[in-house]
Structure 1
Amino acid sequence: MTAPDDVDLDRVWTNVAAEVWRRHPGRLEQTAAKLLRSPGLARALLTTPSLLAPWLIGSTLVLAIGALVQLGADQPLVWLIAPAVAAVGIAYAYGPGIDPAWELACSCAVSDRLVLLTRAVAVFAVNAILGMAASAATLGTTAGTHTAQLTFGWLIPMTAVCTLTLAVAVAVRSAAVGAGAGVAAWIVVVLGRGALDSTASSPGLSPSPSAGTSLAGAVTDPNLYLLYLAVAACCAAVVYYVTRPQRGAQ
């Protein structure tokens, strides 16, 4: 049986396929679309690899273990692992070979830079909240923990490490390289600061006022905060420059 001449079966079946495969966004996606004023950006945000349930569960378990392990008196391990966990999450938030929606996002009207920055901010915020919760859980078991250390001690280093990781990942277009660079830089800072504390407390040397005996000096020494902020600002500028729209790009 042949179709009438005035009926385009290809168009009909295209409409049927579009209806079958049409997605109906949930309440969370609808709320994100209203807040972001962009359904496409909301969809891109909810498909962030490091914001999916398996990744969030893994991050939560790692931070929970960090809350239980103590480096020393009043110094939970979560202060040191929170920046690294957030940095790895940001590195794997967006990029070719990592993001299953990479090709789709590149073809959308929403710019790559906006998708990248929205996802990075969301990943940072989620990990900051998880880290704050883990740190708050240690308040009942560690005496003398200061609010300033809880609020700024690891959030400022987390900002620096995350922006460094993002800058490297965007520049070389590799999430693995970015994550490795961020974690390696953080390990160097932690070990280097610990080595300075050990040297300052050695016999024959007068200890500095901020010197300690644990690795937590990288997050408890306020003298490092300006350095962390400077690194974060420089790396943010690199990300902004690398993700600029290319002239003549299709």
Structure 2
Amino acid sequence: MTTWHVPDDDLRSYAGRGLGPPLLWSTETHLASCAVCRGRLASLVPVDVGWARLDAALDAPRPGPVERLLVAVGVPDHTARLLTATPAMRLSWLLAVATTLVLTALLARVFGGAMVFLGAAPLLTLAGVAVSFGPGVDPTYEITVTSPVHAFRLLLLRCVAVLSANTVLCVAATAFVPDYGLSIVGWFLPSLALTVATLVLSPRFGAAWSALLVGSLWLLTVTWAGSVPFTAAGQLSLLAAAAVLSVLLARRAALFDVLPTRRLR
């Protein structure tokens, strides 16, 4: 039997989750052995409210490291949750991309040619875009297409996140090929142009098939034209293509919100 009870003010603060340690610890220890105070607490906190709070705490998803990083740099928590739902923004995917880029950079350094790195980096971005949105690859796809969130906005957010993450990883990987100077960043404009081209084709073929088609055309271009896409003229051409495709993409934005599911398979 206890000889004291929690004061009313402290009990109200505890019920409102405003009581801090060490008083919080003392109160919880006392409540475990005092039926009188538990009864007083129950009168302050309705049972349904207490259970609702407990259910919300248990069911709330735990943010992963990438989501916590996005929130830490100022991304709203709801946007960070939408971004990290795509496999291309999960830590395992980013680690796989980073490993592939480092190995590719090392191969380019060993064999004395930057083409391996320049040609492969845009394809890794395309792989991320391919799994950014659509049935079978996006775990939130069914929720998204039935919610007020515009599919085009979500797709753009995820593609920008994928492109940004790959850009950071590619810049880090260039440390393994320092002999090529600024020419080694020639992968960026191809990545941008290929990403926009994939988005333009997505309403017709879906993100995955569009990325496969654009990636195949990129491989043929690199195989046939060699280093031409990475020259000054080639880079300007890719920049112009990205600009034109961006205008076309903006005009097709409404198609992403009205497509039936079977068209995105």
If the length of structure 2 is used for normalisation, what is the TM-score?
0.67
- 1:201: which partner in 2? none
The offset of 1:224, in angstroms, is 1.1
User: 5 Å matches for 1:102-121?
Assistant: 102-121=141-160
Contact 2:65 2:91 (C-alpha < 8 Å) held by counterparts: no
The C-alpha deviation readout for 1:22-47, integer Å capped at 9, x for no partner, is 3355786467458344x432210121
CA distance in 1, matches of 2:144, 2:100: 30
The offset of 1:50, in angstroms, is 0.8
- Shift of the 179–223 alpha-carbon distance from structure 1 to 2, 3 Å rule, reads same
> Would you say 1:162 and 2:162 are equivalent positions?
no
Higher normalized helix content (fraction of residues) = 2
> Would you say 1:235 and 2:255 are equivalent positions?
no
> Would you say 1:67 and 2:105 are equivalent positions?
yes
- 1:6: which partner in 2? none
- 2:207: which partner in 1? 175
Which of 146, 163, 182 aligns to 2:181? It is 146
Structure 1, 9-18 or 183-192: larger mean CA deviation: 9-18
Contact 1:67 1:76 (C-alpha < 8 Å) held by counterparts: no
If the length of structure 1 is used for normalisation, what is the TM-score?
0.71
Which of 116, 120, 128 aligns to 2:167? It is 128
Letter of the 1:44 counterpart: L
The C-alpha deviation readout for 1:35-72, integer Å capped at 9, x for no partner, is 344x4322101212111122222212221121011286
Contact 2:66 2:90 (C-alpha < 8 Å) held by counterparts: no
CA distance in 2, matches of 1:31, 1:65: 26
CA distance in 2, matches of 1:96, 1:104: 11
Q: Percent identity, please.
A: 26
The offset of 1:84, in angstroms, is 0.9
Unaligned runs of 5+ in 1: 1-8, 195-215
Structure with higher Rg: it is 2
CA distance in 1, matches of 2:51, 2:80: 29
Contact 2:123 2:215 (C-alpha < 8 Å) held by counterparts: yes
Structure 1, 62-71 or 128-137: larger mean CA deviation: 62-71
Contact 1:50 1:92 (C-alpha < 8 Å) held by counterparts: yes
- Shift of the 99–27 alpha-carbon distance from structure 1 to 2, 3 Å rule, reads closer
Instruction: Give every structure 1 segment of 4 or more consecutive aligned residues whose post-TM-superposition deviation is greater than 6 Å.
Output: 9-16, 245-249
- Shift of the 217–66 alpha-carbon distance from structure 1 to 2, 3 Å rule, reads farther
- Shift of the 32–189 alpha-carbon distance from structure 1 to 2, 3 Å rule, reads same
